Structure formats: structure tokens, C-alpha cells
Chains A and B, each alone.
Chain A
Amino acid sequence: MSDEETKGLLSPLRRKLLMGMAAIPAITMLPRASFAQTPATSAVNTTGLAVTDTEVTVGILHSATGTMAISETGSIEAEKLAIEQINAAGGVLGRKIKFIQEDGASDWPTFAEKAKKLLVNDKVAAIMGCWTSASRKAVLPVVEQYNGMLYYPTFYEGLEQSKNVIYTGQEATQQILAGLNWIAKEKGAKSFFFVGSDYIWPRTSNKIARKHVENVLKGKVVGEEYYPLGNTQFNSVINKIKLTKPDVIFTDVVGGSNVAFYKQLKAAGIDLSKQALLTISVTEDEIDGIGGENIAGAYACMKYFQSLDNANNKAFVPAFKKMWGEKTVIGDVTQAAYLGPWLWKLTVEKAGSFDVDKIAAASPGVEFKGAPEGYVRIHENHHLWSKTRVGRAKLDGQFELIYETADLVEPDPFPKGYQ
């Protein structure tokens, strides 16, 4: 059905033809339908969303200021690119996407307030937004109360599922388990040392990782350490790592601490070409700040790397750089953010409506074949089926793909035996 449409990313003509075809089944059901590709507004919008005959409004809600602007800027850029591409290809149900951008300012109550503004005042059809789990938790009751649709891009700890949210990043088990399996098999790793920042995502991720190491891989966790967010001194934990000599250092340190951690690791003489290190929190974005020379040799485990060699990604990376500058890099979350507007468009076209209830119901099974990471599909639990990949950091700040799962990994936000 409408899934076929994703193939013709670069061909507007082909797109339009296909969209016309996709509209046919819907048209037969509508009394006052014409053969144009634009179905009547009254038919596709029964709940008073900001949809006109020519335009549909969505919201972008990220931090453009404050601490999190470092991370969220890439997501904003990716979402704008996707919207521009969708518009160039004819829009959604014949309507151009207009976006209203709000600034969450790295402050969680502000996120909730702005989400309410977008849903109540602006009547946006969907929100692309949030980055940290804290901001998503603040926005969640708002989108549920006012029945909005949120496309959330970040890999996160799981333990959540909502009719009103589509999670375009990986949940923890998707991201972690395949990486641990790989490193245990490839490096014969038996002992692991966990280092994380002290908040919900690293703690939950490490809990899952610990259960997997102990129960499935029959290995040993020789240390588990947390440092406050923003900590810049890691010499003590580095000494402990030296003392315990783990096969693998497993890290989920975030933000400015990340930079300090890798610089000090390098300065302490730990050579990442000899000491295996697996991180789930360092993307190309973070390496910009860390410096390739400080992290070269480390393994990262996630679903997307800028260097992926497939046709979709080869079109996506130049398009992104053309819009946002030659020097920008694209990390895992940026790619996931790019999926948001596309998945929403495909779902709207599958449902033949902008109504949130119909979109929520139509989401499971929606496929996006034009995803830069390759094929993705929405699961019944509103997370994505996706492949997990391991990359090795290079001096130039890019990852070299080392391993990818043969099949799509099923999202499992409430993993049994890991809680």
C-alpha cells in the first residue's frame, strides 16, 4: 500500500503518481471526493487540528538554549530537513507542512508548558520533540491529556509505552544486548566495568547490562560506578579500572563529563586499541567535543553511524550537509529525529487522516524504506524495529562499521528478566 511510496525519495514525479494511487482507496469511501490528490479537509481532520486545504501545522519542541542545546541542535536540524524534503515531494495528503518551533530551554516544566501551547493554542497535528527522558516524562501527561502525537528521537531506558508517543530511537535492550553479545563473542570478554553518569538512563541501562552479563553471558561485573552529571574528574575511577583490569569498559557517561572522561582515560595511558571499551552514549556529535584522537579505537553500540554504506544514507548525508554546513556531523539521535516527520507522513497517509486516534491506531506496521539507517517498521508497542550496529571510532571522528545484527531487533520496552 502506501509503503511503496518511500522508495521514490528523489523523484517528485514518481512520488506524486504513487500518492495519487494511494489516495484511490480512500477516495472511494468519501462522498464528495474529487480525483485530485488532496482529500477534503473536513474528511481528514475531524478533531479541529491546524489543517487547512493547503497546509498542515506540526510542532518542533527541543532545547535551542541551555545545557541540552548541545545535543538537541542536531535533532532540530534533522526534523527541518525532513519537513523540507517532504514538502518538496508534495507534502502530506497534498498539504505542505508548516512548523512552529518552540524552545524547551533545557528546562522540563518549560517543555510541558510549550507542549501544551502547541497542542491547545496552535492545534498542531504532531509534535517532533524532546530529547532527555526528563523532558519526555514532563511532556507525556500533556500529550496524553490533550491527545497529541509525539515523535521522540532519543535512545532511552525503556519502561514506557504510550498511545500518544512514537519512539523513533532504540529502547535500552535493543541497543545494549546485541552489543554485549558481540563483544563477548568477538573479544572473549568475561569481565566488565561499568561507568555512567548518575541519572535514570545510565542506571537503567546498566541494570539491564548487568543482568545480561551475569545471567546470559555468564560473565562478571567487576565494577559499577556513577558520577554526578557534569563531573569533570575521573582519575579515581580510571585507577580502579587499572586495578581491576576488566576485559571491557562499558560506559554511558553523558554531556560535558564525556569529554573529560575520554581525555583523562587517554592521558592516564589507557590505550583503547588494546583495552576494549564499549559505549552506548557517544555518537559522532559527542566526538566533535571529545576529539577523535582521544577516543579512537573505542566501540560504540547503536543503530546508526554517519558512515553507513547504503543508498538511503548516501542521499541523506549530503542533503543534511548541504542544508546545515559541510562540517556538521550526524549522530544516532539526529538520524532518529529525521525519521519522525517521515513516519508521521506515512502514517497519516496510511490512515488517510490527520486525526490522532486514527494515527495512533494506524502506526503499528508502518514501514519506512527510505530511512538512512535502512528499513524500519513501527511495532505494536510504538517503538521501532531496527538493526543494532557496532562501530569503531576513528581518528577523524567517524565510526567504522564493525558489526550489525542480521535481522531487525524487536523493541522490548518492558523486558522480562531484566527488571
Chain B
Amino acid sequence: MFGDYSLGDLGSIFVMQGFAGLILFSVYVLMALGLAIIFGQMGVINMAHGEFMILGAYVTWMTSNFFQTYLPSLFSGYFFLAMILAFVASGALGMLVEWVLIRHLYKRPLDTLLATWGLSLMLQQAYRSVFGAREVGVELPQWMLGSLHVSDSIEVPINGVFVMCLTVLITVGVAYVMYKSRWGRQVRAVVQNRIMAGAVGINTEKVDRYTYGLGCGIAGVAGSAFTMIGSTGPTSGQLYIVDTFLVVVFGGAASLLGTIASAFSISQTQSTLEFFMSGSMAKVLTLLAVVGILMLRPQGLFALKVRK
């Protein structure tokens, strides 16, 4: 299939395809980070993860409309404010959900699957009632559209670069909070042994609530960022949920590094295969590979060694 192309063509396609893989990698990491905290650290199977993302997307849409109507001069910078608002909104909803629903289920982690699935249906219908069944288009400021022109045949999408930078930023932030801060130590303590952590004076309820809120907040930011590359509708969250779980489970639920490694391997396999065969077949082969590896290594790529 390469016979007809010049070396230069092939070189630039190689670069572009590598970049496509990197963008996919960032997207996977970004959507999986929130779940890595909630599922990985807290053990809650959060089926409503996609809906928390879409809340962020809707917040972005509303912010964009607000700026267009009232502050058109500041429109070019609205996206940063939108991401912060998305974090706050999704995080607040997450904390509310934790208080109403999740905290009663820590001893029955499998039931969280059903509870959060029901929650996701309720949220979808709520979005449909509030924002309408049709998809909404989020208008982006001009500087975020289009691509950077590297050479005649190499163009780098600006929104891809944006997502990559955002992913790095948030990953570093999460890693710092979870592994370097005092609060992160408390979170890990609660996860490992709730009763013991309570006995040494950690307010476990508060830690749980904030951890869940943090995970949902990050999902909101991811949803906000994905308005650049995907659709925003009541059920758009469903598009992400399978991939998200795939990445987290494959990486080894409790490990942040595992999530990143798994996102990297899945995205690179996927985008390489996509280039040589049709998208559907690439997906099938990727999933087969993941299933095969999980059969050999049920704990995922990276598993924490803990005394049970």
C-alpha cells in the first residue's frame, strides 16, 4: 500500500499518525483520571462517570453562550473559566451524590454498579429535560480552531495540543495531591483500611466525600475539554464509559501509573491498527488483545502490593 507514495509523504504521515496516537493517549488519560480515583482508589464502580463529564460539557456550553451574549470582548479566553466552572459543578454534584447515595454502599461495592447506573439514566433524562434532546454545539474561540502548519504535509491540530497540555497538567496535579500531600496520604489510608484510618483520627467521611468530588470534578474538566473534539448531548457520556473502564481496569485499578501505561498501550495499538485496517476491525483487535492480557494478568498491568 505504500508503493505509490514518496518518502517525504510517508515520513510526514508517520509523524502525523504518531501524533494522532498521542492525542488519543491524552484523551484516554484525561477521561480515565477521574475514574482512576473513584474506582481505583475508592472502589466505587461509577457508571455515571460519563454523565459527570457531560455536565462539564454543558457548563462549558452555557459559559460560551454567556460570554457571547454579555462579554463578547472576552470570548477568546472563556474556555479557561469554563473549565474551572465545569470542575466546580461536577465536583459539587459528585459530593452531593456521595452524600445521598454512595456513602451507604462502601461495604457493598458491587451494588455501586447498579446504583450509579441508575444515576446515569436519571442524569441523562435530566439533561434531556433541561437542555433538550438535541445536541448542542459549543462555539470555540478562533485561536483554538484549525491547526499549526509545520510543513506542507504536516499539520498539528491545535485542540489536540491543548488536550495534551491539559492532560499533563492534571496528571501532575493529581499525582501530587494523591502521593505527596497530607490529604492524599489520608485518602490512601482510608482506602486501605477504613476502620483503622478512623481510629487514628482521620475523618473518613470527609475524606470520602472530597475524594469522590475530586474524581467527578476531573471528569467535568475532561468533559469540558472534549467539547472541542466530540459531541455534547444528553447521552454523549455513554460514548466514553466503556473506553474509560477499559483503561482503568487494564492498568490495574489502584495504580495511577498503571492508568497512564494502559492508556498509552491501548491508544498506540488502536491508532497503529487503525492505519492498516478499518476502524471497526482495529477496535476488535485492540479489545481482543486487552482481553487476552487480562486473562493472563487479571490484576492489570500494574498492581499495588498490599497486605490483604
Give A397's nearest chain B residue, CB to CB: B137
Given contacts A65-B125, A242-B13, A258-B231, contact A232 B239 (CB under 8 A): yes
For window 351-404 of chain A, which residues contact chain B by CB distance below 8 Å? none
* A275 lies within 8 A of chain B by Cβ: no
Q: How far is the CA of A290 from the CA of B228 in the complex (A)?
A: 10
Residues in B233-248 with C-beta less than 8 Å from chain A: 233-236, 238-240
Residue of B nearest to A198 (CB): B280
Please tell me the number of chain B residues within 8 Å of chain A, measured between CB atoms: 53
B5 within 8 A of A: yes
Does B20 sit at the interface, judged by CB under 8 A? yes
Contact A237 B133 (CB under 8 A): no
B164 to chain A, nearest CB (A): 13
A228 close to B20 (CB less than 8 A): no
**Any B CB within 8 A of the CB of A323:** no
B232 to chain A, nearest CB (A): 7
Residues of B within 8 A of A73 (CB): 132-134
Residue of A66, A243, A258, A286 near B13 (CB, 8 A) is A243
User: Is the C-beta of B72 less than 8 angstroms from some C-beta in chain A?
Assistant: no
B145: interface (CB < 8 Å): yes
Cβ-defined contact, B133 with A70, below 8 A = yes
B132-174 contacts to A, CB under 8 A, are 132-140, 145-147, 149, 153, 155, 157-160
B278 CB contact (under 8 Å) in A226, A238, A293: A226
A-B contact count (CB 8 A): 149
Task: Give the residues in chain A near B145, CB-CB below 8 Å.
Answer: 266-267, 293
* A236 with B147: CB separation less than 8 A: no
Q: How far is the CB of B79 from chain A (nearest CB, A)?
A: 14
Residue of A nearest to B147 (CB): A269
Distance A66 CA – B283 CA, assembled complex (angstroms): 24
A161 CB contacts on chain B under 8 angstroms: none
Nearest-CB distance from B17 to chain A (Å)?
Answer: 5
Pair B235/A66 contact, Cβ less than 8 Å: yes
With both beta carbons as reference points, the residue of chain A lying nearest to B31 in the complex is identified as: A232
Once bound together, how far apart are the Cα atoms of A263 and B133, in whole Å?
21
The answer to whether A239 and B13 have CB atoms under 8 Å apart is: yes
A288 at the interface (CB under 8 A from B): yes
- Residues from chain B with Cβ under 8 Å of A242 in the complex: 13, 16, 153
1/0 per residue, CB under 8 A from B, across A289-321: the answer is: 111110000000000000000000000000000
- Name the distance in Å between A121's Cβ and chain B's nearest Cβ: 26
Question: Are B232 and A235 closer than 8 Å at their CB atoms?
Answer: no
Main secondary structure of the interface of A (DSSP, over half): helix
B280 touches A236 (CB 8 A): no
Asked if B279 CB lies within 8 Å of chain A CBs, one says yes
B128 touches A232 (CB 8 A): no
- Verify if A414 is at the interface (C-beta below 8 Å from B): no
> Which chain B residues numbered 72 to 116 have a C-beta less than 8 Å away from chain A?
none
Q: When the two chains form the complex, which single residue of A64, A240, A256, A268 contacts B231, counting CB atoms closer than 8 Å?
A: A256
**Interface core residue of A73, A267, A288, A293 (most chain B CB under 10 Å):** A267
**How far is B160's CA from A359's CA once the two chains are assembled, in angstroms?**
56
Q: How far is the CA of A224 from the CA of B278 in the complex (A)?
A: 8
**A227 to B20 alpha-carbon distance, docked (Å):** 16
Across the two chains, which residue of chain A brings its CB closest to B233? A70
- Flag whether B46 is at the interface (Cβ < 8 A): no
When distances are taken between beta carbons in the complex, the residues of chain B under 8 Å from A237 are 274, 279
* Contact assessment for B157 and A268 in the assembled complex, using a CB-CB cutoff below 8 Å: yes
Per a CB cutoff under 8 Å, which of B19, B232, B283 touches A289? B232
Query: Given the complex of chains A and B, what is the CA–CA distance between A65 and B128 in angstroms?
Result: 8
Most chain-B Cβ atoms within 10 A of its Cβ — which of A70, A74, A233, A239?
Answer: A233
CA distance A65 to B281 in the complex (A): 30
Can you name the residue of chain B whose Cβ is closest to the Cβ of A224?
B278
Q: Is the CB of A259 within 8 A of B231?
A: yes
B275 within 8 A of A: yes
Q: Do A67 and B238 touch (CB < 8 A)?
A: yes
Q: In the complex the two chains form, is A269's CB within 8 Å of B155's CB?
A: yes
B229 touches A285 (CB 8 A): no
**Residues 256-278 of chain A, each 1 if its beta carbon lies under 8 Å from chain B, else 0:** 11111001101111000000000
Q: Do the beta carbons of B134 and A240 come within 8 Å of each other?
A: no
Per-position binary interface string of chain B over residues 1-31, scored 1 when its CB falls under 8 Å from any chain A CB and 0 otherwise: 0000100010001001101100110010000
Give chain A residues whose Cβ lies under 8 Å from the Cβ of B159. 263, 267
Q: What are 20 of the A-B contact pairs (CB < 8 Å)?
A: A70-B133, A70-B233, A70-B234, A225-B279, A226-B279, A227-B280, A232-B231, A233-B24, A239-B17, A239-B20, A240-B275, A242-B16, A256-B230, A256-B231, A263-B228, A267-B145, A267-B160, A268-B155, A289-B136, A293-B145
For the A-B complex with A256-B230, A267-B146, A269-B155 known, give 9 more contacts whose Cβ atoms are closer than 8 Å: A65-B125, A233-B24, A239-B13, A239-B16, A243-B13, A256-B235, A267-B145, A267-B229, A289-B233
For the complex of A and B, the 3 pairs showing the least CB-CB separation, nearest first, are: A289-B135, A235-B20, A259-B231
Residues of B within 8 A of A (CB): 5, 9, 13, 16-17, 19-20, 23-24, 27, 125, 128, 132-140, 145-147, 149, 153, 155, 157-160, 226, 228-236, 238-240, 270-271, 274-275, 278-280, 282-283
